[in-house]
């Protein structure tokens, strides 16, 4: 269960780099424990005060983050999560906001950054270092092309922008 949470939050971390209009993405998650790749597709939209992720494949699911609360709507119904009750979730949303807002002061509190060409290599520090090994963000100007996340448990996530 914890691994699935990590996947979700890291996906959001990558999603935070998208523009404020809907962006189509493809996501591939590698599970070290299962030695298996899982593919997802969908759209992410950043509003002024919310983040909406709409998965279309492999199954429909809508995630909405607003005012430190996360709603999850899928074939099993609707669920609301208070992110302040789980520090890891709360920190990940702070990171998402920092990346989306290009808040370098807040980003510097979570990562050391090194630029290699079009790619930023983010080395986690503090609370993020307990979960993440490395994050690589590739951009073309300000537009995100891809995001690669290495998790300390051996799992990997790759997000590629389709549009």
pLDDT tens for 123-160 read 999 888 988 899 888 877 777 788 888 888 899 988 88
**pLDDT: is 56 or 139 the higher one?**
56
pLDDT digits (tens, 9 = 90+) for 73-126: 999 999 998 888 876 666 666 666 666 666 788 888 889 999 898 888 989 998
Question: Which range marks the domain in which residue 73 is found?
Answer: 2-161
Give the CATH number, domain containing residue 37.
2.50.20.10
Residue 31: pLDDT band by 50, 70, 90 thresholds? very high
Q: What is the pTM of this model?
A: 0.73
**54: Cβ contacts below 8 Å, ≥ 6 apart:** 42, 43, 44, 45, 60, 61, 62
Candidate from 9-18, 63-72, 143-152 with smallest mean pLDDT: 9-18
Q: Per the structure, how many domains does the chain have?
A: 1
């Amino acid at each position: 269960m914890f691994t699935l949470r990590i996947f979700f939050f890291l996906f959001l971390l990558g999603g935070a780099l998208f523009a404020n209009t809907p962006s189509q993405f493809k996501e591939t998650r590698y599970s070290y424990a299962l030695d298996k790749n899982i593919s997802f597709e969908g759209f992410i939209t950043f509003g002024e005060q919310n983040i909406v992720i709409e998965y279309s494949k492999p199954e429909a699911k809508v995630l909405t983050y607003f005012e430190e609360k996360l709603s999850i709507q899928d074939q099993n119904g609707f669920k609301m999560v208070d992110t302040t009750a789980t520090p890891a979730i709360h920190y990940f949303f702070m990171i998402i906001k920092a990346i989306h807002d290009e808040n370098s002061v807040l980003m510097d509190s979570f990562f050391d950054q090194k630029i290699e060409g079009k790619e930023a290599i983010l080395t986690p520090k503090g609370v993020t270092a307990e979960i993440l090994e490395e994050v690589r963000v590739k951009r073309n100007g300000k537009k995100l092309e891809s995001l690669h996340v290495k998790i300390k448990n051996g799992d990997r996530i790759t997000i590629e922008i389709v549009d």
